[in-house]
Structure 1
Amino acid sequence: MANEKILVVEDERIVALDIKHSLESFGYVVPCMASTGEDAIQMAKRYKPDLVLMDIVLKGDIDGIEAATVIHNNCRIPVVYLTAYSDERTLQRAKMTEPFGHILKPFDNRELRTNIEIALHKRALEQEKLFNNDSWINSLMDNVGDAVISTDASGRVTHINLLAQALTGYRLEEAIGEPVDRVFKVICETTGKAVPNPTKKALREGTFYGLCEGTVLISKEQNHIPVDVIGSPIRNIHNETIGAIIVFCDITERRDIERSFLDYIIGPGLSQTVNH
């Protein structure tokens, strides 16, 4: 269990330094310490620790539970709470964030180390399950004949296949973790106005959702590409929506063929009027 990175979030500096010293004596790495919820979120994104030790009561606008929610949803980093407060309301709020542990202050080093080792072991087991599941989904996406982007429950990109990379202009490493709206931008061809991303409805309502004809994808290079699009929810074995998939394809060639046919039938140039 040596060399794992642990972020310490504690607003009492003496307590934070004591925890840091204990963790380093166990063989863990403490890349940084945070004293507010806002700092905790930023440091989690920057350092990508293996675990966060989070004090529930923090100074500032964001308490430990709110910070843990953001870190859990956006970074998939497990959190173990440190707190002297054990009232039922606080515990219920904390449970909503699916913590990997809960340590009541004051605690000794053995209790601290045991909880950390259990949390890291649980994380390793869950990562293996997620890896196997994600690998299967990603492999399926990479072998589909259309462009595909998948997201997590918060609408952030978890995978983008080669066809989707080619059309959007975003490489895999650029897209992962980004809000899907930033990678997959679509507008109405007629009005030029933004079109609601299909993942929003898929995530919100758990249903398939297709975009109407005349939808145009704006690539990273600002190319305008007419596309057919459908969004679909991803569900787990409990039928809970845990993400969404966008499937889309470039219909430029198809539209050119349709226009050529209309030109032949009704006269050159008139097909543009019919299509609009």
Structure 2
Amino acid sequence: MTDEKIMIVEDEKIVALDIKDSLESFGYSVPCMVSTGKDAIEMARIHNPDLILMDVVLKGDMDGIKATEIIHDHCDIPVIYLTAYSDEKTIARAKLTSPFGHILKPFENRELRTNIEIALYKRALEKEKLLENENWINSLLNNIGDAIISTDAQGKVKLVNPLAQALTGYRQEEAFDKPIEEIFRVICEDTGKTVQNPTQKVLNEGAFYGLHDKTVLISRENNHTPIDVIGSPIKNSRNEIMGTIIVFYDISERKDIEKSFLNYSFSGDNIQKTNH
């Protein structure tokens, strides 16, 4: 018995049961079988399987391709399509969802097993590569000379580098997995009102976003630090947003210089007027 869980999405019950028997004979577990796209989305969220076998044609008004698109919006789960249709339009739509395999019905157990093993192997390699990349990125971010906070796609904090820890007052272990709004609190310098956190803007729009000049960071100890902020999305090879990186800079020194310059200018004006 392996640890992998495979969910079956198939609207023909007899076919679904045959696939289930085959999977269990291969040593996989089957947490559930569903026949509609709506149920597939819900069960994927609940069971978080390692792989989904998705029939393209399903009962109801949502086919397997559309269900896969929605699942991929919320969960990073590989999908193998099962279909009796091989027309170019269907294949083109399916390719856009980056499936891990495409099996034409009717199929033999050997073909099913081979596709599953290849998909799970590719997935394992992706995870290994992702872990290596994360370790490399974390090492880089921890040693860079700017304050940086990274989050996942839900806006939960994953990394707070040393300079960001100093400015926010939160250590890495305290901030980890908390909503970024709790760690990175910003207000408008002029109004004192809370400013929309750049993370949500980046997640919603999938693009760079900045806050400048009038933004103030409120630390855990209630220290006020004027900052410039730049947020950017983290995307995978399928252009899906996996998280964000927020880079911010303490601009206190710049503010002091600007203030001194303004005071000097006003003082000069007054002297000039007095001499006249």
Common fold by TM > 0.5: yes
Counterpart contact for 1:203–1:233, Cα < 8 Å: no
Segments of 5+ residues of structure 2 without an aligned counterpart are 267-276
Partner of 2:45: 45
Partner of 1:159: 158
Cα distance in 1 for partners of 2:203, 2:83 equals 37
Select between 130-139 and 94-103 the one with higher mean Cα deviation.
Answer: 130-139
Question: Is the radius of gyration larger for structure 1 or structure 2?
Answer: 2
Q: How high is the TM-score relative to the length of structure 1?
A: 0.70
Counterpart contact for 1:55–1:64, Cα < 8 Å: yes
How far has the Cα of 1:74 moved from its partner?
3.2
How far has the Cα of 1:127 moved from its partner?
1.8
Question: Could you list the per-position Cα deviations for residues 57-111 of structure 1 after superposition, in whole angstroms to 9, with x for gaps in the alignment?
Answer: 2234432112222333432211100111211111001001111100111112111
Cα distance in 1 for partners of 2:201, 2:79 equals 27
How far has the Cα of 1:245 moved from its partner?
1.9
Counterpart contact for 1:100–1:119, Cα < 8 Å: yes
Aligned to 1:2, the other structure's residue is in SS state: coil
Partner of 1:90: 90
Cα distance in 2 for partners of 1:16, 1:133 equals 38
Partner of 1:14: 14
**Aligned residue runs from structure 1 range 105-254, under 5 A:** 105-144=105-144, 146-150=146-150, 159-161=158-160, 167=168, 171-174=175-178, 188-190=188-190, 192=193, 194-195=195-196, 197=198, 200=201, 209-215=209-215, 227-232=227-232, 244-248=244-248
Counterpart contact for 2:141–2:161, Cα < 8 Å: no
Specify whether residues 38 and 68 from structure 1 end up closer, same or farther in structure 2 by C-alpha distance, changes over 3 A only: same
Counterpart contact for 1:215–1:227, Cα < 8 Å: yes
Specify whether residues 118 and 205 from structure 1 end up closer, same or farther in structure 2 by C-alpha distance, changes over 3 A only: closer
Specify whether residues 162 and 92 from structure 1 end up closer, same or farther in structure 2 by C-alpha distance, changes over 3 A only: same
**Counterpart code for 1:231:** G
Counterpart contact for 1:198–1:211, Cα < 8 Å: no
How big is the alpha-carbon RMSD for the aligned residues of Structure 1 and Structure 2? 4.5
Counterpart contact for 1:198–1:210, Cα < 8 Å: no
Specify whether residues 107 and 91 from structure 1 end up closer, same or farther in structure 2 by C-alpha distance, changes over 3 A only: same
Q: How high is the TM-score relative to the length of structure 2?
A: 0.70
